[in-house]
Amino acid sequence: MRNPFIVGSFVRAENFFGREALLRDVLEGPRNSLWVVGARRLGKTSLLKQLEYLVQESAQSPYVPLYWDIQGAGDSRGLADLLIEAVEDCEPFRRQAGIAVEDLEGAPVHEMLATLLRRAVRSGWRLLLLIDEGEELISVSKADPTVLPRLRRILQKGPELRAVVTSTRRLARIDDHSPVATSPFLAGLIPPLYLTPLLAPEAMRLLARGGLEERDAQQIVERTACHPFLLQLIASRFFESHDLVATMEQAAADEMVANFFSFDFQTLEATERDLLRHVAAEAGRDRAALLTASGLAPERTDETLQALRLMGYLTETGGRWSVGNWFFERWLRRGPAPATEAAAEPGGRP
Ligand SMILES: Nc1ncnc2c1ncn2[C@@H]1O[C@H](COP(=O)(O)OP(=O)(O)O)[C@@H](O)[C@H]1O
Ligand SMILES: [Mg+2]
């Protein structure tokens, strides 16, 4: 039997587990512009690729999907180049929308989007625009303050266009830099939907692919708290080593895993990081203890705790808070160390 676990690259189709409610919300819910927040390696790209896949496979869907990864765009020219690349990479989109790359070249990015939308609609479709690595918009807007209001106007065109933006929490800061005269970019995108860890039964189904014994699978579910990347990483290594205890210990001490946590940690706000440290300092603290430790306003503390819980950084049982999973707790206790981007990105872009 081949190792069935996938670590690092996005997953879709039969390799994609869980998230039914979220997929349904995005495709069938009332909102035409959505923001999905998720920690690193929690499955943002996979979610978008699965949306693309589901729509492409469906005979009933009114949408034609386009996946647009904007990482590294830098400015509006970069955004435009990556949009061309997205269209170039997606033959079904070009065919369905009746568009060629030459129809777009040379135009500014908001005009390209308007053209894409017009063509899609003319061909009888709604456009499902799937924007990955949304925090890039912060750099783009710093380089080019006029582009965000223009993008925003297009993203909010209503039923002909449904836009899904994924990012880490970092995108929340985008309006800090925008000039006061323009309306805030996030206004039409909030409240965000949160990408949570998988549910235990979904994680068990994923692990069942490797023919794991129930007891081993349960321990992996427990230690990873269904964080999809950690699940697949541990399952994949265990599949090769057949020694669960050693696999867990090695992963907890592993530089790649530490780098992953370091980079993930850096996407959080200082107050969020502090709160995580306070929870890690003593497992099972309650809200009152965390309020005292953090010194933040109660509403702020509650809001931060809930956001951290939804993203899987923390768990709460009976009012007592602990770190989301065993690996992250070990890393937090050890104390954050500097990381190198390359090591944190297995299968990621250089
Ligand atoms: N729905 C899912 N089902 C199974 N595994 C998943 C799922 N989502 C993510 N993963 C695992 O997490 C890893 C990272 O997923 P990815 O979509 O690249 O995350 P992100 O874009 O948030 O960094 C994948 O390689 C895979 O191991
Ligand atoms: Mg991604």
**One pLDDT digit (tens) per residue for the chain, 350 residues:** 899 999 999 999 999 999 999 999 999 999 999 999 999 999 999 999 999 999 999 999 999 999 999 999 999 999 999 999 999 999 999 999 999 999 999 999 999 999 999 999 999 999 999 999 999 999 999 999 999 999 999 998 889 999 999 999 899 888 876 665 567 889 889 999 999 999 999 999 999 999 999 999 999 999 999 999 999 999 999 999 999 999 999 999 999 999 999 999 998 999 999 999 999 998 899 999 999 999 999 999 999 999 999 999 999 999 999 999 999 999 998 876 555 444 444 444 33
Rounded to two decimals, the pTM is 0.93
- 205 belongs to a structural domain: no
Pair 88, 166 in one domain? yes
Closest-lying ligand 1 atom to the alpha carbon of residue 206: 4
Phi, psi angles (nearest 5°) of residue 249: -60, -45
**Number of structural domains the chain divides into:** 2
Q: Is 9 in the pocket of ligand 1 (CB under 6 A)?
A: yes
- 223 belongs to a structural domain: no
Pair 275, 187 in one domain? no
Q: Is 263 in the pocket of ligand 1 (CB under 6 A)?
A: no
Choosing from 9, 46, 194 the residue with most ligand 1 atoms within 8 A of its CB, the one to mutate for a pocket test is: 46
| Ligand 2 geometric centre to CA of 27 (Å) | 20
Last residue of a domain, one of 148, 173, 194: 194
Of 189, 195, 199, the residue nearest 165 (C-alpha): 189
Pair 167, 311 in one domain? no
| Ligand 1 geometric centre to CA of 155 (Å) | 26
Pair 310, 189 in one domain? no
Last residue of a domain, one of 138, 163, 194: 194
Nearest ligand to the C-alpha atom of residue 70:
2
Q: Cα torsion for 330, 251, 213, 13, to the nearest 10°?
A: 110
Q: How far apart are CA 201 and CA 218, in angstroms?
A: 10
Q: Is 324 in the pocket of ligand 1 (CB under 6 A)?
A: no
Reading the block at residue 232, the tokens are: 């697949």
Pair 189, 296 in one domain? no
Reading the block at residue 231, the tokens are: 């699940």
| Ligand 1 geometric centre to CA of 264 (Å) | 14
Q: How far apart are CA 97 and CA 92, in angstroms?
A: 8
Closest-lying ligand 1 atom to the alpha carbon of residue 229: 12
Here the CATH number for the domain that contains residue 145 is 3.40.50.300
Q: How far apart are CA 93 and CA 114, in angstroms?
A: 15
- 75 belongs to a structural domain: yes
- 76 belongs to a structural domain: yes
Pair 33, 139 in one domain? yes
Mapping DSSP to helix (H, G, I), strand (E, B) and coil, where does residue 69 land? strand
Pair 51, 131 in one domain? yes
Reading the block at residue 306, the tokens are: 């809930």
- 254 belongs to a structural domain: no
Reading the block at residue 185, the tokens are: 């970019």
Last residue of a domain, one of 143, 172, 194: 194
Q: How far apart are CA 102 and CA 92, in angstroms?
A: 16
Reading the block at residue 297, the tokens are: 């306003």
Pair 167, 28 in one domain? yes
The closest residue, in CA terms, to atom 5 on ligand 1 is 228
Here the CATH number for the domain that contains residue 266 is 1.10.10.10
Contacts of residue 156, defined as CB under 8 A and 6 or more positions apart, other chains included, come to 32, 33, 188
What strand order describes the sheet that includes 63-69? 63-69, 126-132, 161-167, 33-37, 193-194
Pair 268, 186 in one domain? no
Pair 87, 189 in one domain? yes
Cβ distance 134 to 165 under 8 Å? Answer: yes
Q: How far apart are CA 304 and CA 8, in angstroms?
A: 28
The closest residue, in CA terms, to atom 15 on ligand 1 is 43
Q: Is 167 in the pocket of ligand 1 (CB under 6 A)?
A: no
Pair 168, 31 in one domain? yes
Range of the domain at 269: 262-334
- 44 belongs to a structural domain: yes
The closest residue, in CA terms, to atom 18 on ligand 1 is 10
